[in-house]
Amino acid sequence: MNAMQNVMIRMIEYDKADPKRIQHFLKVYQFAKLIGEMEQVEDQMQNIIEIAALVHDIGIKISEEKYGSSAGKYQELEGPPIAKALLKDLGYEPSVINRVCWLVGHHHTYHNIQELDHQILVEADFLVNAYEDNLTVDAIVSVLTKIFRTDSGKLLLKTIYLDENQM
């Protein structure tokens, strides 16, 4: 197994008996990987984007246990230490772990997105959540104009969710 498959297996184990959550991060991973490749990001960033997509929601479980809520602010607080322990255990170097943990801690922060890895993670999460949360066409158009920035993410969102007359 390669390193990414190890992360995938560990996350499937982490979310065991919760197929919905497992399906969620596998889909976010696939879209994040695709956008990164379409945008031709450099290898190190591509690696970080893919790992971050697999672990981005790692804080949900403990947030629900601790606060009875999976609100973004709790996830962003609780997620990074768990992600750090998991990635350390898998032998990742500190530079990768630190960046992935930062992304886990900011994946619900949509204002002031500065870096491409953060942007791609947010877009990939929306590409999946738009379906899972049954977003209205109006909400999707709003997300498209307010949050999406990459050409690849915009193209995917439009192609998947909007008819030509809705754009």
Contact 53, 121 (CB under 8 A): yes
- Closer of 58 and 87 to Fe ion (Cβ): 58
Other Cβ atoms less than 10 A from the Cβ of 23: the count is: 13
Q: How far is the CB of 163 from Fe ion (least distance, A)?
A: 26
- Closer of 91 and 111 to Fe ion (Cβ): 111
Size of the site for Fe ion (CB under 5 A): 2
Contact 36, 101 (CB under 8 A): no
Of the candidate spans 32-40, 60-68, 119-127, 159-167, the one that interacts with Fe ion by CB under 5 A turns out to be 119-127
Supply φ then ψ for residue 40, to 5 degrees: 50, 50
Amino acid, single-letter form, for residue 1? M
Residue 15 in contact with Fe ion, rule: CB under 5 A: no
Q: How far is the CB of 28 from Fe ion (least distance, A)?
A: 5
Options 125, 140, 148, 156; binder of Fe ion; rule CB under 5 A:
125
Place of tokens 């697999």: 54
Q: How far is the CB of 57 from Fe ion (least distance, A)?
A: 5
Contact 108, 75 (CB under 8 A): yes
Place of tokens 């976010």: 28
Options 15, 35, 50, 57; binder of Fe ion; rule CB under 5 A:
57
Own/partner long-range contacts of 67-72 (Cβ < 8 Å, ≥24 apart): 72/108, 72/109
Q: How far is the CB of 63 from Fe ion (least distance, A)?
A: 13
Q: How far is the CB of 161 from Fe ion (least distance, A)?
A: 17
Restricting to residues 17-56, which ones interact with Fe ion according to CB under 5 A?
none
- Closer of 102 and 166 to Fe ion (Cβ): 102
Contact 15, 58 (CB under 8 A): no
* Chain contacts with Fe ion (rule: CB under 5 A): 57, 125
